Amino acid sequence: MSVTAERIKEQRKLKKLTQTELAELVNSSRSSIAQIETDKYNVSFAMLSLIADALDTTVEYLQGKTDNPLKTPAVDDNGDEPPLTEGQKQVAYFIDPSATPEEIEQIKKLVEIAKLSKHRL
């Protein structure tokens, strides 16, 4: 079974939706959803987009391009943005390796802002 089929089924079950309920949300039929979940039908991008919206996830997650099922970046209990990835930290360091710890924090925040802007496009 493809990653897409597995993730659609997994997310549908996490949302406690039946195939019929998901089909109603995307204006389709239960049999179409069943065929998508069993790889008997290759889902179009338009339908995949509708399914992602209905399951409150992203097309990229359903396609296996990311392992983050969330539509928006996670926010911790303090309301802070998620920590930077190691790659983002390296970018901040390479921008100015002689930066003070305070300057590095500012650079990290700029990288995070750029990352968030990218998600909103």
Question: In three state form, how does the secondary structure of 21-34 look?
Answer: HHHHHCCCCHHHHH
* Token digits of residue 28: 């389709």
Specify the domain boundaries for CATH 1.10.260.40 within the chain. 3-62
Residue 105's alpha-carbon distances to 32, 41, 56, 73, 115, in angstroms, are: 49, 48, 32, 19, 15
Q: pLDDT tens for residues 18-41?
A: 999 999 999 999 999 999 999 998
Q: Count Cα atoms within 13 angstroms, Cβ side, for 108.
A: 17
At 78 the pLDDT is: 55
d(CA 39, CA 8): 11
26 and 47 in contact (C-beta within 8 Å)? yes
CA angle centred on 102, ends 100 and 103, rounded to 5°: 65
Q: pLDDT tens for residues 80-96?
A: 556 666 666 666 566 66
Q: pLDDT tens for residues 37-79?
A: 999 988 888 899 899 999 999 999 999 988 888 876 555 545 5
Say which CATH topology domain 3-62 has. 434 Repressor (Amino-terminal Domain) (1.10.260)
